[in-house]
Homo-oligomer: A and B are copies of this chain.
Amino acid sequence: MKTRALRCLALLLAGGAFSICAGEALAQAPAPRLMPLPSHLETDDGQFLIDGNINVALEGYTEPRLTLARDRFLATLSRETGIPIRQNGPDRPANLTIKTTGASKPVQELGEDESYHLKVSPAGVQLTAANPLGVLHGLQTFLQLVRITPQGFAAPAVTIDDEPRFGWRGLMLDNGRHFMHMEVIERNLDAMEAVKLNVFHWHISDDQGFRLEIKTYPLLQEKGSNGLYYTQQQVADLIQYARDRGIRVIPEFDMPCHTTSWFAGYPQLASGPGPYKIADHWGVMDSAMDPTRESTFEFLDKFLDEMTALFPDAYFHIGGDECNGKEWNANQKIQAWMRAHNIKDNAALQSHFGARLQKLVAAHHKIMEGWDEVLQPDTPKDVVIQSWRGPTALAAAARQGNRGLLSNGYYIDLNQTAAYHYSSDPLAGDAAKLTGEEKARILGGEATMWSEYVNGENVDSRIWPRTAAIAERLWSPPDVRDVDSMYARLAVISDHLEFYGLNHQSFTRVMLQRMSGESDPKYLAVLASVVQPAEEYQREEFQQNDTSSPLTHMVDAVGPESDTAREFSELVKAMVAGKASPEQWQQARAWLELWRDNDAKLQPSLPRSEITAELVPLSHDLSQVASIGLRALDDLQNHRPANPDLVASNMQLLKAAEKPEAVLRNMIVPPVEALLQASVSH
């Protein structure tokens, strides 16, 4: 048996630097490309072949969830391999044995044992776990092990002992701003299970929509949504669906601000005079609940009666972010009440609201969770802080005795790279200086999918595959950090997720067809392959910016990170460092020629569509940038001194091309700048 330290494995997985793992024999088969990487893995010789007779036995403790998990596992395996799998049955010997010691909690809890032991040998597979949660994780690991080989589909022989680093590994989805059909949410829960995330945080109300049926206050959904909301039956089904996959469901009802949609039906909750209707544009609104009236808390008490019964999880998220205080300032009665109660400013008023709300939540036997702003000096210690502000705020909460989650660094709506998210660690920055006891208060993290600019058609692409990198950060040991390995495995998990029904790879083609009206918009696809949405909040500057704007532009149709541009950047790094192979020089040249020549083919069609007309300058720039790149490549390859004046003027052109067009960044600009720089200095 060949044991490898995990660090060595990560290097192996990156596909290079094999010799670093000195002193160890290398297995013939490639190392398994798992994500998240397990905490301990040993490889062995041989492999377990998959065929239609695979037979799974459940031993020890059992429950319906395990039977469902087995059936779902076989169905996924069948989709993944295309092999029709015979129904499981006692008529033939089991070759995949699952042994479960006992039950997990009736309502899944934070901190339950999620570990598992998985042994794959040519003769069979053994999976053991303390409870069904570990079984679910182990089955997903097995599915990731399966790949095509010269002998057919097979899982390599391995022994894995695995458990998570953090107990809270979440994905937040905002359906207040954009409603998405249940099937969209379900397939994303499937993908969460695949990468071992265990909390679905459902941001279900916001200024633009209240998306849940409330029986006590039906005007919440009737006036607070455009008819697009979830029924309580759908919610109950989703909670069961999530539980079957080892995922907790925590609702967020954002208060006291982000509440315009509440006021459409119940203006008496508001601090302003109204009338209110659901917001039809994005941004921070002035609307705020009135924390000075008892009737507000009476309403919320009844509201919590209904919601805490519907959502069984021990935690309940009340939001609490982004109050601008304008409605409070403008309301004379509120101002008078504040003076009478010695409340000095709006922060203190919000703190008062939060404290009252916390008592209500606690009275309903739930633990309150809120964004950074919820934390005040007198906040009860059991309140959990979700930090959008960052490690400093998170560490401060932990020092104060509160538990917390990191979301800063995991804002997947902002079109940042997988590498960026991967580098964000809940225990980095200020948190690294915490005591052990304080560090234990950092529960984990959550990726946050805010939905101003996504809908059911493209949301998969914003979540996946990058959230798999975040899942690894939250599950795997902290020294699993190799970015090349991460990207190599991210590509594999991305393909794997296609068999879970996600459209994160296929959506681009369909959207390009729609925007061009062409069956095979290949020149548009070339442009699409090297651009990515401008980061952070630049999308807000786009032409149309309200809730009814179609999300049909190129910025909506490409993923957050251009793989082609990243690969080109890697080539440029190798060329500049003098380490590029002839094939790499040739590949870089072929790409630059493709990009240079694309504009002439693409331009005639762009004005034929209202949607593609905006791409005229971007396409033109791509050609120009590629021409500059080709010249620099020539100079560099031929060791020819570059003309300094030409380099200077070209650098100016490149700097201009850095500026987003149609909210899209041309991602070959930075590597071409590097090429140009190198052509001077070599």
Contact = CB atoms under 8 A, between A and B. Distances in A.
| Chain multiplicity (copies) | 2
A82 B551 contact: yes
A161 to B, nearest CB: 27
Interface string A69-85: 00000000001111110
B457 A82 contact: yes
A547 B85 CA distance: 11
Contacts of A498: 510, 513
Contacts of A151: 610
A589 interface: no
A81 B491 contact: no
A362 B80 CA distance: 48
Interface residues of A, number: 47
Given A227-B87, A519-B494, A514 B82 contact: yes
A148 B517 contact: yes
A52 interface: yes
A148 B87 contact: no
A641 interface: no
A552 to B, nearest CB: 4
Contacts of A227: 87
A152 B82 contact: no
Contact of A611 (B148, B547, B551, B608): B148
A525 interface: no
Nearest to A457: B82
Contact of A608 (B150, B457, B511, B514): B150
Nearest to A498: B510
Interface in A509-538: 509-511, 513-517, 519
A102 interface: no
Contacts of A499: 510
A2 interface: no
B492 A519 contact: yes
Interface of A: 52, 79-84, 86-87, 147-153, 226-227, 455, 457, 491-492, 494-495, 498-499, 506, 509-511, 513-517, 519, 547-548, 550-552, 607-611, 613
9 contacts: A79-B457, A82-B511, A82-B550, A86-B226, A86-B548, A148-B514, A148-B515, A149-B609, A498-B510
